[in-house]
């Protein structure tokens, strides 16, 4: 079963884990190599290999501490969400549960936004080939899925997702928009640059300026 990295993971600690794992492996197979142990540790943390685990650890270690969002602030922000943005958060919980992830990460919120916008044509998103199926494939290539979680399990927003929502609200305020729509959430995800979701959006050619300047995307149709 995969484990979650702490918010401030330590690469030296992981190296010690790998060496300890190597000693365990060599009790069964004297020819075992350090790379075998590193690969096992990486897979347990949901990464494809040791190099990807190191990259993720370094990214988390270098990023600023995520801002915690008080319950009162979360409630106030949610009250500003359009119906479609609210629906996106419900979909994001479903997406996280389907792959057995214990927290709603920015990539799940991104999937929720795209699902909530189905039926709303937008050239920017279409040209970027940004669809739920494509994003699931991108996420699946970078994060290991687990057994789906029961619908009864409470799945909360991670600190990174809370920060993305805060940044989305800031984008709405920046444009003097009272309502927070799906485009603002996309902008919040993009501004949270260290997240997997932001990396995927950049890989698809989306930038802050492009989304900010797309009037059709920002002027969300009522659901």
In b/e form, how buried is each residue of 177-202, taking b as 16+ CB within 10 angstroms? beebbbbbbbbbbbbbebbbbbbbbe
Q: Note whether residue 3 is domain-resident.
A: no
Residues 93-151 pLDDT 10s = 999 999 999 999 999 999 999 888 887 767 888 888 888 888 888 888 888 888 988 87
Of 176, 193, 194, 186, which is closest to residue 212 (Cα–Cα)?
Answer: 186
Q: What is the dihedral of CA 47, 49, 54, 55, to 10 degrees?
A: -70
Grade residue 71 by pLDDT with cuts at 50, 70 and 90: very low
Q: What is the mean pLDDT of residues 43-58?
A: 73
Residues 25 and 78 in one domain: no
Q: Answer yes or no: are the C-beta atoms of 197 and 115 closer than 8 Å.
A: no
- CA-based R_g, the chain, Å: 19
- Contact between residue 4 and residue 31 where contact means Cβ atoms under 8 Å apart: no
pLDDT classification of 15: cutoffs 50, 70, 90: confident
What would the pLDDT profile of 144-190 be if each residue is shown by its tens digit? 888 988 878 889 999 999 999 999 999 999 989 999 999 999 999 99
Domain count, the chain: 2
In a domain, 4, yes or no: no
Q: Which domain holds residue 75?
A: 71-218
Residues 43 and 86 occupy one common structural domain: no
CB 80 within 8 A of CB 179: yes
Of the CA atoms within 13 Å of residue 194, those in its CB half-sphere come to 17
* pLDDT classification of 213: cutoffs 50, 70, 90: confident
CB 185 within 8 A of CB 219: no
36 and 92 share one domain: no
Exposed / middle / buried, residue 36 (Cβ in 10 Å: 0-12, 13-18, 19+)? middle
């Amino acid at each position: 079963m995969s484990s979650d990295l702490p918010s401030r993971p330590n690469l030296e600690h992981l190296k010690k884990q790998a060496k300890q794992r190597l000693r365990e492996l060599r009790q069964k197979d004297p020819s075992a190599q350090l790379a075998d142990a590193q690969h096992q540790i990486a897979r347990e943390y949901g990464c494809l290999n040791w190099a990807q685990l190191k990259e993720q650890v370094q990214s988390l270690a270098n990023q600023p501490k995520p801002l915690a969002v008080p319950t009162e602030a979360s409630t106030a922000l949610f009250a500003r969400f359009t119906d479609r943005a609210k629906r996106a958060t419900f979909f994001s919980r479903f997406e996280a549960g389907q792959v057995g992830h214990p927290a709603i990460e920015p990539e799940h919120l991104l999937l929720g936004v795209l699902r909530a916008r189905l039926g709303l044509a937008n050239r920017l998103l279409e040209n970027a080939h940004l669809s739920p199926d494509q994003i699931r494939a991108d996420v699946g290539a970078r994060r290991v899925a687990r057994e789906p979680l029961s619908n009864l399990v409470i799945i909360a927003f991670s600190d990174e997702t809370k920060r993305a929502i805060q940044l989305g609200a800031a984008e709405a305020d920046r444009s003097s928009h009272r309502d927070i729509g799906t485009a603002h959430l996309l902008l919040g995800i993009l501004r949270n640059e260290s997240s997997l979701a932001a990396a995927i959006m950049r890989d698809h050619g989306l930038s802050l300026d492009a989304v900010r300047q797309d009037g059709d995307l920002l002027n969300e149709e009522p659901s």
